[in-house]
A and B are shown apart, each in its own frame.
Chain A
């Protein structure tokens, strides 16, 4: 182990429930508990709800990318019948404060434009009216005078901007939001002893989650109590509620956020603080409940949820025999106009930046740029899917330069099964894995040798068939140190060290089990997963379990889905809660059966003496007794009435970053792994890529519900295909967002998917989590872009085209092919 990790400690496991083969409910393809109401149109998404006397909001989005608002004339809008209120930045400046930011120093943002516009689509004015049609009519009557400011859209240029082009002058006289260098391990020495240094410039274009449901909220301000109630399809509401309250200039006790189910998120609805703040402010100003549902264009322009947008100048230090020594790179990330998560996406990436390989050191220079575009948020991978692409492209480049088969090169460097828990140079740990087995299974699943033979034949026929293999990590269960560990050491900002997950569980007097979640539904399967774990713990039938969602008044300590954390964290909390309740039930049963609680077990919804089938009490009977029949039990506190508990679960395996950041501690160790293999055929004349075959094998530890996990693999792969081939947010030189609609932003349809996407599962349980479960929610998006880039490059080997960027739509690919085609053959068509 490298010298810089000498103080690195891996805490002992705190696992209580082992992974094992005799589980009844965990591991089953239980039909989802959530589905019946979703299938019958009774889901109750945010726009399905209505409050009495509710009004509707529409907004005027800024038409310019960088401008000051000189004047706003709202008189015509206000006069329109049906208009209740027109709200401008002037009012917002008085009534609201800055919205949440995890960056240090923050890049101040308000719920709407106060001082100046920093990207197109920011809210310049809002109208509240009797119905959304009138609200929009009124928006079109608002007259605004703008003073244009210089626009920057190229991050490498923007960081040199001065004067009026500076987007956050109060933060500093530069659009360079961040510039820091890190060395994890002996980077310089490793590069000095390298025999070959492979260099690439790689680009990752800006795409985003774009769930089919947009962001929405309904807010009500009760003047009598001074309380806001806000229904919203957001998350983080019961942990960072106080920040929104602060933005509304009220005490945290005055804000209740009630979650509604979300029609997809993929990270984009993790914390829609701006939207909630604005809707609440409007409700307070209007004196009526206000509903504001973003339309699709607003969702593109103004929902603070853009994905990573990076340029890498990367180097891989190698030995000639294929041993990878070190990775170092300079990365420039275009963060857009604000900085809500700071460089957290890069902290996140440090969890697995070396991929599944034994690499001795990592060096990074990270530059974050402000530009006049929408800001980055969270999108499935939160920045790690990008470094998966980085390391896989570099490994393929190394294979090419060294003349080594890319699979052989991977095998040579893959971490071996006996080496876990494995510490990577950044300090993060990989808890368990068997990368060789995943690779072997993927090769078998795709029929690799048969495809190689077909490829030879295709090449002989002049067709461009390519095979790409990507072996990638999917870290799960984050520690929040990743959000700030790369921030300035002297001023890291809010340096939180825990993101727990709480749950409350209650058994009612008929023996039914109620669990209250502190996290929303996004399309993941929280109710199903929790039902399965509860059924396992109590040996009851899923039909006897009911799941609800707490609001911010009754909820607590729940960071919800994101970063592939939820299943592991909520299971941990459930196990804690069940432990307490099961102990109580055993206590009660022990008294009634005159047996020692240590001799009791749970079986078929009852608690009974081991080995004595007739000596048992059903949970229902115990619950009845425990709730209503106090006097049947001894008069000591442990027999007090009630069978309910709350439990908070903290990360089982995280440590702080080194004070000098020699390493970042352990922050994302529950490590899943995948191998994606793509077979593509490229039409060299048009640049069109057809995915002919595809296999994805994932190891997410013990699976709670293989079918729903499979859903994340497939859906995630679809997102990854979009990212790799079609999806890009296109801002022009004036900062105009040119394809902010579903016709021009090309998300995959069924036709763009491979017809038979083969998936496989492997399980190397985690030694650290309950039942050995690992997170798998980010799924296929972590591996697909790397696999597809590799496959396309392989397909175009005869042309010598390198695929160094995503997305790679036909127009771009054709341009690369054209550039590599000798002029003589080019013109003959």
Chain B
């Protein structure tokens, strides 16, 4: 399965990248890790006219804390983030979710920003981004803008990023003190895309929930955050029956598709089970 022909540019500055993207009307694609892009090209599902290789652009491979946020650059690889003590501290939910993402060689090349832009509805990181209220920094040749995660993921392989924009940075608010987190996934094999995955965070105040976030992968055309259901947790004691009730409400709130990996009913079952487990873990980790 060989890809169709394309022109190739390997610019050495971000400006040059953005210039190449402008005016192409979507027929140019950025290649960072290529772990999602190249299979689609080999299948000829995607046939970009121009491939813009950003791997030699300096100063894109970073992750650091700045202005109270964990900021992750466009070329920061999954392996780096998975192994990072900084990530483990600044966003333990991300660290936990990374135990479920792909495999070594794929993580070596794949980037978080690339993964988020690819927006596979069964991918783990978009759900994490939603749960932690991440912000995406998009840039094109004329300027930049930020888009919050809950507006970024639009549909299957569809994001708010315009054809001439590049996701240059993801900004993750630092996990507040005492916040607990949980992440559970069901996939056929470990490392596969999720059939369903659930991410959750909780904060308690006097034993009652003061903040809650729940996000789901595999339950719709993109990662979802059932915020109305989250709200029902606020002010309540998160005992097992309450969490089960919330999990059931999440399952009722989603409208997943049936496909070769599972029926809609199965996905609801999974949502119910996995949200409950993620919430229980989060509760146990509240400080």
Establish whether A and B are touching in the complex (CB under 8 Å): yes
CB <8 Å contact, A686 and B260: no
Q: Which of B5, B269, B276 contacts A818 (CB 8 A)?
A: B269
Closest to B4 in A: A137
CB distance from A83 to the nearest CB of B (A): 14
Question: Known contacts being A746-B189, A746-B192, A749-B190, is A132 close to B44, with CB within 8 Å?
Answer: no
Q: Is A295 an interface residue (CB 8 A)?
A: yes
- Interface, chain A (partner B; CB < 8 A): 132-133, 136-137, 140, 295-297, 685-688, 726, 730, 738-739, 743-744, 746, 748-749, 751-752, 809-811, 814-815, 818, 827-829
CB <8 Å contact, B188 and A295: no
Specify which chain B residues have a CB less than 8 angstroms from the CB of A744 in the assembled complex: 260-261
CB <8 Å contact, A749 and B269: no
Question: Known contacts being A132-B2, A136-B2, A140-B44, is A685 close to B269, with CB within 8 Å?
Answer: yes
A726 to B260 CA separation, bound complex (whole angstroms)? 12
Specify which chain A residues have a CB less than 8 angstroms from the CB of B247 in the assembled complex: 829
Q: Which 3 A-B pairs have the closest CB atoms?
A: A685-B273, A811-B262, A751-B190
Question: Known contacts being A749-B189, A811-B262, is A686 close to B270, with CB within 8 Å?
Answer: yes
Q: Which of A297, A738, A829 contacts B276 (CB 8 A)?
A: A829
CB distance from A796 to the nearest CB of B (A): 15
Q: Which of B5, B188, B248, B265 contacts A809 (CB 8 A)?
A: B188
Question: Which residues of B (219-236) have their CB < 8 Å from a CB of A?
Answer: none
CB <8 Å contact, A726 and B188: yes
Q: Which of B189, B193, B270, B276 contacts A748 (CB 8 A)?
A: B189
Specify which chain B residues have a CB less than 8 angstroms from the CB of A810 in the assembled complex: 186, 188, 195, 262
Question: Known contacts being A744-B260, A829-B276, is A726 close to B189, with CB within 8 Å?
Answer: yes
CB <8 Å contact, B189 and A752: yes
Taking A686-B186, A752-B190, A829-B276 as known contacts, 13 extra A-B pairs with beta carbons closer than 8 A to each other, sorted by chain A number, are A137-B5, A140-B4, A297-B43, A686-B270, A686-B274, A726-B188, A738-B260, A743-B192, A751-B190, A810-B262, A811-B266, A814-B270, A829-B272
Closest to B246 in A: A829
Specify which chain B residues have a CB less than 8 angstroms from the CB of A815 in the assembled complex: 263, 265-266
Q: Is B67 an interface residue (CB 8 A)?
A: no
CB distance from A135 to the nearest CB of B (A): 8
CB distance from A458 to the nearest CB of B (A): 19
A827 to B1 CA separation, bound complex (whole angstroms)? 46
Specify which chain B residues have a CB less than 8 angstroms from the CB of A829 in the assembled complex: 244, 247-248, 272-273, 276
- Write the B249-282 contact mask toward A (1 if CB under 8 angstroms, else 0): 0000000000011110110011011101000000
Specify which chain B residues have a CB less than 8 angstroms from the CB of A748 in the assembled complex: 189
CB <8 Å contact, B190 and A297: no
CB distance from A102 to the nearest CB of B (A): 32
Specify which chain A residues have a CB less than 8 angstroms from the CB of B44 in the assembled complex: 136, 140
Q: Is B191 an interface residue (CB 8 A)?
A: yes
* Residue from A726, A730, A828 whose CB has the most chain B CB atoms within 10 Å: A828
* Residue from A743, A814, A828 whose CB has the most chain B CB atoms within 10 Å: A814
Specify which chain A residues have a CB less than 8 angstroms from the CB of B270 in the assembled complex: 686, 814
6 A-B contacts, Cβ less than 8 Å apart?
Answer: A136-B1, A743-B192, A810-B195, A814-B266, A815-B265, A815-B266
A688 to B266 CA separation, bound complex (whole angstroms)? 12
A136 to B4 CA separation, bound complex (whole angstroms)? 8
CB <8 Å contact, A746 and B2: no
- Write the B1-45 contact mask toward A (1 if CB under 8 angstroms, else 0): 111110000000000000000000000000000000000000110
Q: Bin chain B's interface residue count.
A: 20 to 34
A48 to B106 CA separation, bound complex (whole angstroms)? 25
CB <8 Å contact, B189 and A295: no
Closest to B252 in A: A827
Closest to B270 in A: A686
A140 to B4 CA separation, bound complex (whole angstroms)? 10
A688 to B190 CA separation, bound complex (whole angstroms)? 11
Specify which chain B residues have a CB less than 8 angstroms from the CB of A137 in the assembled complex: 4-5
A814 to B265 CA separation, bound complex (whole angstroms)? 10
CB <8 Å contact, B188 and A133: no
CB distance from A155 to the nearest CB of B (A): 20
A733 to B173 CA separation, bound complex (whole angstroms)? 48
Specify which chain A residues have a CB less than 8 angstroms from the CB of B266 in the assembled complex: 687, 811, 814-815
Specify which chain B residues have a CB less than 8 angstroms from the CB of A295 in the assembled complex: 1
CB <8 Å contact, A827 and B248: yes
Question: Known contacts being A730-B260, A739-B260, A746-B192, is A686 close to B4, with CB within 8 Å?
Answer: no
A828 to B3 CA separation, bound complex (whole angstroms)? 50
Specify which chain B residues have a CB less than 8 angstroms from the CB of A686 in the assembled complex: 186, 269-270, 273-274
* Residue from B2, B272, B274 whose CB has the most chain A CB atoms within 10 Å: B2
CB <8 Å contact, B189 and A751: yes
A792 to B219 CA separation, bound complex (whole angstroms)? 27
Specify which chain B residues have a CB less than 8 angstroms from the CB of A738 in the assembled complex: 260
A739 to B261 CA separation, bound complex (whole angstroms)? 10
Specify which chain A residues have a CB less than 8 angstroms from the CB of B276 in the assembled complex: 829
- Write the B159-188 contact mask toward A (1 if CB under 8 angstroms, else 0): 000000000000000000000000000101
Question: Known contacts being A686-B273, A810-B186, is A828 close to B1, with CB within 8 Å?
Answer: no
Q: Which of B5, B244, B260 contacts A828 (CB 8 A)?
A: B244
A743 to B248 CA separation, bound complex (whole angstroms)? 30
* Residue from A687, A809, A829 whose CB has the most chain B CB atoms within 10 Å: A829
CB <8 Å contact, A746 and B188: yes
Question: Known contacts being A136-B2, A686-B269, is A811 close to B189, with CB within 8 Å?
Answer: no
CB distance from B233 to the nearest CB of A (A): 15
CB distance from A457 to the nearest CB of B (A): 22
CB distance from A723 to the nearest CB of B (A): 14
* Residue from A744, A748, A810, A827 whose CB has the most chain B CB atoms within 10 Å: A810
A815 to B44 CA separation, bound complex (whole angstroms)? 36
CB distance from B36 to the nearest CB of A (A): 11
Specify which chain B residues have a CB less than 8 angstroms from the CB of A814 in the assembled complex: 266, 269-270
* Residue from A686, A730, A748, A827 whose CB has the most chain B CB atoms within 10 Å: A686
CB <8 Å contact, B261 and A811: yes
A357 to B238 CA separation, bound complex (whole angstroms)? 56
Specify which chain A residues have a CB less than 8 angstroms from the CB of B3 in the assembled complex: 133
A739 to B188 CA separation, bound complex (whole angstroms)? 13
Closest to B241 in A: A828
* Residue from B43, B193, B195, B270 whose CB has the most chain A CB atoms within 10 Å: B270
A13 to B273 CA separation, bound complex (whole angstroms)? 61
CB <8 Å contact, B189 and A133: no
* Residue from B191, B269, B274 whose CB has the most chain A CB atoms within 10 Å: B269
A749 to B274 CA separation, bound complex (whole angstroms)? 23
